[in-house]
């Protein structure tokens, strides 16, 4: 919204107005405002939650310090969502389809999580929103994302034009001053299901290759495959973030690290100079998402002010479902979703630990008559708690692993 001050006052030559046209300036503003919202207004919201006695119900799982968390205010995800949405509305271009899609994702998943928390807290139903309704919401979001990417005319990627032999077509540019000749690739902006794949020379993978055996008459099948992949990614990452939210600051800090990495990837993918230098896919208008991710980083880091050990507030499903979904949809939009297992490795590990634990327990119960466990408790962060490692140390170590994975994700831009 404030971006349009540049358009309004551009002709008046006022000092500082020109800064609003720069993504880096507006992203910085979004980070600062988001931090202020979480740290200043977050405290007031925590007091409101305390007065309303919106506290966490804790089951005794035999974990050290666990019962001390009973009664800690929950539904703090409202703080995070507010600190994402408000700065984005103020600093981003609101006619950008990617910004609108991310705002919709944030609010949509936030409402699902809020409904779950509301049922738990106010209806005193520990199960919360039925799992099938959560899945339905995540699937619906996936279909909306696919439909937007397919229908909207502004969703394009820039690719090299191929000649009859399938080689990249080049054109000769003659410098009018020196007369020197320079060869460059001929490009076009097209609607495509192409995405980025790491450690491969051309660095691209197209979902249509999966259905190419059916011929050109079944071109629409690529969008079916694409839709299924997107739904799977959104559901998996959103639920994984929910599972990770079991220790003070774990999901928040991990999300901030992943978000910062995706913000860098969005910025270079939306800058034609950096994209050309790094030889990565250029996506027109995608750089604007840097502002959204700036707000996301500010919101998660600011929330740690109150959510770090010992937590004064929990985000609840209001926050955790939204955080995972935001990271998933963001990575899909910037065509980096195949990097999620690496970038969001902590989420993947948490998810796999639960799947392994449940599967092995059911298998051994069927085979031996009694269920056996691989981990002392799942998700895996509870396994380490059972081993006597302090909660704060577990969280810090997981953050360190998350940073290593983030660096490796960035490195994949050049390692092919």
DSSP string of 94-156?
Answer: TT-HHHHHHHHHHHHHHHHHHHHHHHHHTS--TT-S-HHHHHHHHHHHHHHHHHHHHH-TT--
Contact by Cβ (8 Å): 20, 3 = yes
**How far is Cα 394 from Cα 69, in angstroms, rounded to an integer?**
17
Number of Cβ within 10 Å of residue 361's Cβ equals 16
225 contacts 232 by C-beta, under 8 angstroms = no
Whether residue 112 is found in the same domain as residue 182? no
**CA–CA separation, 124 vs 181, rounded Å?**
74
Are both 185 and 296 inside the same structural domain? no
CA nearest to 140, candidates 174, 172, 104, 115: 104
Asked if the structure places residue 367 within a domain, the reply is no
What separation in angstroms does the CA of 369 have from each of 312, 363, 364, 365, 366?
43, 9, 7, 5, 6
Question: Which of 140, 173, 190 corresponds to the end of one domain?
Answer: 190
Q: Are residues 185 and 290 in the same domain?
A: no
Q: How many angstroms separate the CA atoms of 266 and 318, rounded?
A: 25
For residue 242, the surrounding DSSP H or E stretch is helix 221-244
Residue 312, SS3 per DSSP:
coil
Domain range spanning residue 171? 157-190
Provide the 3-class DSSP secondary structure of residue 362.
helix
- 71 and 215, same domain (yes or no): yes
| pLDDT attached to residue 281 | 87
Q: Is the peptide bond before 51 cis (omega within 30 degrees of 0)?
A: no
CA 59 to chain centre: 30
At residue 55, the pLDDT reads 64
Q: Please tell me whether residues 161 and 244 are part of one structural domain.
A: no
Domain contains 5: no
- Do residue 223 and residue 126 come from a single domain? yes
Last residue of a domain, one of 190, 211, 237: 190
Does 183 share its domain with 137?
A: no
Q: Cα torsion at 324, 326, 327, 330 (round to 10°)?
A: 160
The total of other beta-carbon atoms located within 10 Å of residue 108's CB is: 19
Residues 166 and 88 in one domain: no
What separation, in Å, do the N-terminal and C-terminal C-alpha atoms of the chain show?
40
Position 2 in a domain: no
C-alpha distances out from residue 294 to 111, 251, 259, Å: 22, 18, 8
- For residue 282, give Cα distances in angstroms to 61, 275, 338: 49, 6, 17
Q: Are 235 and 161 contained in the same domain?
A: no
Rounded to two decimals, the pTM is 0.91
Residue 365 lies in a domain: no
The answer to the question of residue 170 being in a domain is: yes
Q: What is the number of structural domains in the chain?
A: 2
Burial class of residue 367, CB neighbours in 10 A (0-12, 13-18, 19+): exposed
Q: What is the pLDDT of residue 121?
A: 84
Residue 166 lies in a domain: yes
| Segment-wise mean pLDDT, segments of 10 residues, the chain, 416 residues | 66 66 90 94 86 66 64 87 96 94 97 92 83 93 94 88 71 72 76 86 83 76 91 95 92 96 95 86 93 97 92 90 96 94 94 94 90 91 91 95 95 80
Q: Is the domain of 42 the same as that of 110?
A: yes
Same domain, 106 and 186: no
Within-domain flag for 4: no
Q: Do 142 and 215 fall within a single domain?
A: yes
Note whether 307 and 73 are within 8 A (CB): no
Query: Is residue 366 in some structural domain?
Result: no
**Domain end residue (candidates: 167, 190, 213):** 190
């Amino acid at each position: 919204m404030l971006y349009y001050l540049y358009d309004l006052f551009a002709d008046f030559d006022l000092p500082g107005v020109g800064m609003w046209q720069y993504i880096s300036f507006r992203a910085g503003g979004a980070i600062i405002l988001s931090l202020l919202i979480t740290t200043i207004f977050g405290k007031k919201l925590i007091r409101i939650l305390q007065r309303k006695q919106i506290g966490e119900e804790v089951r005794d799982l035999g974990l050290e310090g666990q019962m001390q968390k009973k009664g800690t205010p929950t539904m703090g995800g409202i703080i995070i969502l507010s600190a994402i949405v408000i700065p984005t509305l103020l600093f981003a271009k609101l006619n950008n389809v990617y910004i609108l899609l991310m705002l919709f994702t944030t609010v949509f998943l936030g409402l699902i999580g809020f409904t779950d928390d509301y049922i738990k807290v106010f209806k005193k139903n520990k199960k919360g929103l039925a799992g099938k309704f959560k899945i339905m919401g995540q699937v619906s979001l996936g279909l909306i994302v696919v439909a937007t990417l397919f229908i909207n005319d502004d969703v394009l990627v820039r690719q090299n034009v191929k000649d009859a032999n399938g080689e990249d077509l080049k054109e000769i540019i003659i410098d009018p001053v020196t007369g020197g000749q320079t060869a460059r690739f001929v490009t076009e902006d097209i609607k495509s299901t192409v995405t980025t794949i790491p450690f491969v020379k051309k660095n691209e993978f197209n979902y249509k290759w999966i259905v190419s055996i059916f011929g050109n008459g079944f071109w629409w099948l690529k969008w079916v495959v694409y839709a299924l992949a997107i739904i799977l990614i959104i559901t998996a990452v959103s639920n994984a973030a929910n599972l990770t939210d079991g220790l003070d600051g774990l999901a928040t800090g991990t999300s901030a690290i992943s978000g910062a990495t995706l913000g860098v990837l969005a910025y270079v993918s939306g800058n034609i100079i950096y994209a050309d230098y790094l030889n990565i896919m250029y996506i027109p208008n995608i750089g604007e998402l840097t502002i959204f991710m700036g707000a996301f980083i500010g919101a998660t880091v600011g929330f740690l002010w109150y959510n770090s050990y010992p937590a004064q507030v929990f985000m609840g499903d209001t926050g955790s479902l939204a955080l995972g979904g935001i990271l998933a949809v963001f990575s899909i939009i910037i065509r980096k979703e195949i990097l999620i297992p690496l970038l969001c490795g902590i989420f993947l590990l948490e998810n796999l630990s639960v799947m392994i634990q449940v599967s092995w327990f059911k298998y051994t119960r069927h085979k031996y008559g009694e269920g056996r466990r691989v981990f002392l408790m799942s998700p895996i962060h509870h396994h380490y708690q059972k081993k006597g490692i302090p909660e704060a140390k577990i969280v810090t170590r997981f953050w360190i692993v998350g940073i290593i994975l983030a660096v490796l994700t960035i490195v994949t831009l050049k390692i092919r």
